[in-house]
Structure 1
Amino acid sequence: MGATPATRAVLLAEPEPPPATPADLVTKEVGFHGSGGLAMRGTVLSSAKAKPGRPGIVLVHGSGTGTRRTKLMEEAVAFARQGLSVLIYDKRSKGYSLFRRSYAQLAGDALGAVAALRSQPGVDPAKVGVWGFSEGGWVAPIAASRSADVAFVVLVGANGMPPLRQQTWAVAAGLRQAGVSGSLVDRAEPAMYRTIADGGMFPEPYYDPGPTLAAVRQPVLGIWGVHDLLTPPRENPPLVARALEKGGNRHYAFHFFPGADHAAHRTPDGGITRLPELAPGYADLVGSWVRDVTAGRAPVARTSGPAPVQTSPTVPMEPPAWWGSAPVQLAVLTLIMAAFTAYPMIALIRRLRGRRRPSVTRAARLLGSAGPVVVLGSFFYLFYLLMNGSKLAAPGPLVAGRPLIWLALQALAVACVAATVLTALAWRRSRGPAARGRRGEAARPGGPGVGLGEKIRLGLLIAGGTLFVPWAAYWGLLLP
């Protein structure tokens, strides 16, 4: 696909009514083609008193599939009142999902929108830029690096780090804000994200925005809320600046808004709740900055606003070692579960056949029942936290910074380790001289000896318990 797809703005017959807009604005429904020729729909908002030759700006969504254009209506209205023509569009759902997406493809959609806005009456085609929020902060620079038709770039809540590192930090920060500490947040949560990414269930996990930012030649405005809980607000601006300067671009300005969240909206509680209103001065800054840069007055390496709040640093997220890879983890999980569940399943089959036999040790029974609970319970709990951990993490009741659920799983894990040792000792005793002397006695129903089948069952259970120990340590279940 070329840098500027051949698109033409056309008036559409929308199946849904156009978004409601204030009386001081005028709207026009447009259509254009995104990546792969996908037909897309959008709305252009302008002031009723807009002057000809005005700048234009395309708004690029954050993460989410099929997000409607109205999601960005607050920004669109505010920017239009600054004298800009603003294009908002419905985000694609085709080729985009929780586990699949392409920032390059989304950048092609944005360039299609740029071409549509450049063709609008009253818009100066040399003054059209892109605005990218959150995920759009990875997408907008790609669009700008691919096309000189993009006159400027505005980034809001953007990242200069890979998506996996950002997302791992966001969920960990949410858990820490909820009072969680210890191995759950320090070990288990990043381990789960590495495994998910290695299994192909986290799209674009190691995308490095640095080279793309270094290729951006247009002026850049970076905006972050002081209370950003989804993007590390202290670490990302220097990364973005470093990448721009590496490419020789010093025409950037960064600003931090107090009392603002990830989207630069007002927040009354440190970033947890997002109010509809934009941070005071946000729209004014965008309007004045766009007017300046499109008039050839781009600022040089300027940073303003209060220092952002970031209570914990990010952790580098490299691809896992072989033992942490998704295939190995899946294989270990399968072996452990098979070894643990075989013990009670054989006991059940014996009972149904009327051949009930007491366990050599109660520890074996504990290991066969508690082991699967720990393995499956920890995975389900971690998945729950990953899906609901950002900003409003709900880990449940805490004791000394540890969720009760996690403490219970850890206690069961320790019990499984102890049960493995006790079962191994019992199995060893069953193979001793005394047991061999009673071998004939074991053939009689109810005899005290241990037959070959029982020894094999115990050996399998012990093998599962032995494999469980390093597995549980890797996932933080045996760590404080």
Structure 2
Amino acid sequence: MKKIIQLLMVVLVSTSSIFAQSIKTNRPQEPKGPYPYYSEDIHFKNKQAGIHLAGTLTLPKKEGIFPAVILITGSGPQNRNEELAGHKPFLVLSDYLTKNGIAVLRYDDRGTALSEGNFKSATSVDLASDVESAIAYLKTRKEINPKKIGLIGHSEGGLIAPLVATQSKDVAFIVMLGGPGIPGDKILQIQQRLIAEASGVSNKEIKGTEKVNKKIFDLVKKSSNIEQLRIDLRSNLLKFLHENPDFKKPDNMTEDEFIHSQVETYATPWMQYFIRYNPVNTLKKVKIPVLALNGEKDLQITPKENLNAIKKALRKARNKNITIMELPDLNHLFQEADTGAPQEYQKIKQTYSPTALKEILHWLKIQVKP
């Protein structure tokens, strides 16, 4: 229980930070080589950032011209397979799509695995420029149809894909997998409560956590300087703890340790951008085909609030090619789940629901048909 409470106090959309350790477990969907398609490890440059990114390009065949998708990971530093909780979702997804005629580019996030750069200093806007560089790279490949390049973003990747689509005319369509449609602070508030409830945390503890996080979110939203934000967070958290002596700090942390953990989590460029960002303002400009999928049991990016917001924003854009779907029994990773709580991710053998894979492919086939 203490571990769960600590998770809630440092609540993030990212699951990679929750399950950073290596977990060896049976993953029956994970493909093993040799693959029945062409696979090539590649590098491409983000000229704007001055870094090289490493990834893998898979083609249905070595020769030919194919539609392509770029996979965009969720929040937190992740490798090209989006590896977390002992699963490799992007490896399974890319394998499935490539076997069905679609080229796939997946890559290590900047500063992760074989990619250059500094992930800690990057915001979603910086990560969007990495995607734009991936598009530019695909356009240099004779095997790729430049008019049929799309983006598939999971979680934060579903935030980044629309950003790129509004900046680049080379994006033909986007798929948002558990992507956000409401502001970051609202996402974190809902996520926090639902995960806490699913984990058996008492209502009293939940309310205490909500109280301190609301104060933190307000400070982050008002701040324009990271160093000043660190000072403000520290002084306000210290005041909060003194005014609320019954507040339970996680894992028997000292006061200084608790305050330090919160400051290090929230006084970052990424968190500042995420908490302030409202996806609706970007989605209202997206006119290309969009597929937005959520799992019914997604506790991190909840389907009701986010899918409704995505649908309304795209309608304001007068987008005529919108598909919005809530898939029964699936969690944030699109696994068949019992509760949807992050603690289940690593226990579930399934990496990707066959239903989700089929829905993604069916929609993509319609978009890329000759």
- Normalising by structure 2, report the TM-score: 0.69
Q: Secondary structure at the match of 1:57?
A: strand
1:79 matched residue in structure 2: 97
Q: 1:158 to 1:190 in 2, by over 3 A?
A: farther
Question: How many equivalent pairs are there?
Answer: 274
Greater Rg by CA: 1
Q: SS state of the match for residue 150, structure 2?
A: strand
Question: Which string of whole-angstrom CA distances, capped at 9 and with x for unpartnered residues, describes residues 300-354 of structure 1?
Answer: xxxxxxxxxxxxxxxxxxxxxxxxxxxxxxxxxxxxxxxxxxxxxxxxxxxxxxx
Alpha-carbon distance in 1 for matches of 2:101, 2:73: 21
- Contact 1:83/1:287 (8 A) holds in 2: no
The reply on whether 1:41 has 2:111 as its aligned counterpart is: no
Contact 1:225 1:262 in 2 (8 A): yes
Amino acid corresponding to residue 212 of structure 2 in structure 1: A
User: Counterparts of 1:268-287 in structure 2 under 5 Å?
Assistant: 268-272=338-342, 273-274=344-345, 275=348, 276-287=350-361
Q: CA RMSD in A?
A: 2.2
Q: Which amino acid aligns with 2:215?
A: R
Structure 1: unaligned runs, 5 residues or longer: 1-18, 297-480
| Residue 115 (str. 1) matches residue 125 (str. 2) | no
Higher relative contact order, chain-length normalized (CA < 8 Å, sep 6+): 2
- Which residue, 307, 314, 321 being the options, matches 1:251? 321
Q: What percent identity do the matched residue pairs reach?
A: 26
- Does 2:45 correspond to 1:27? no
Cα distance change on mapping 1:267 and 1:51 into 2, 3 Å: farther
Shift of 1:20: 6.0
CA contact (8 A) 2:292 2:325 kept: yes
- 8 Å contact kept, 1:29–1:42: yes
Cα deviations by residue, 1:402-461 (Å, 9 ceiling, x for unpaired)? xxxxxxxxxxxxxxxxxxxxxxxxxxxxxxxxxxxxxxxxxxxxxxxxxxxxxxxxxxxx
CA contact (8 A) 1:53 1:123 kept: yes
Q: Which among 136, 141, 150 is matched to residue 129 of structure 1? A: 150
Native 8 Å contact 1:82 1:284 kept in 2: no
- Gap runs ≥5 in structure 2: 1-30, 83-89, 112-116, 221-228, 230-265
Deviation at 1:203, TM superposition (A): 2.8
Equivalent in the alignment of 1:145: 166
Distance 2:33 2:69 in 1: 17
Deviations 1:234-259 (A, max 9, x none): 11101001111111113110122223
Aligned to 1:182: 203
Q: 1:117 to 1:208 in 2, by over 3 A?
A: same
Indicate if the aligned counterparts of 2:58 and 2:104 stay in contact, CA closer than 8 A.
yes
Match of 2:184 among 150, 154, 163: 163
The residue aligned with 1:231 is: 301
Equivalent residues of 1:226, 1:260 under 8 A apart: yes
Cα distance in 2 for partners of 1:258, 1:212 equals 28
What does 1:335-346 correspond to in 2, within 5 Å? none
Alpha-carbon distance between aligned partners in 1 of 2:204 and 2:339, rounded to the nearest angstrom: 27
Provide the secondary structure at the position in 2 that maps to 1:235.
Answer: helix
- 1-side partners of 2:167 and 2:211: how far apart? 34
Q: Are the structure 2 counterparts of residues 268 and 183 from structure 1 closer, same or farther at C-alpha, using a change threshold of 3 Å?
A: closer
Q: Is the 8 A contact 1:60 1:131 kept in 2?
A: yes
Relative distance call for 1:39 and 1:174 in structure 2 (3 A) is same
- Tell me if 1:89 matches 2:126: no
Q: With the length of structure 1 as denominator, give the TM-score of the two structures.
A: 0.54
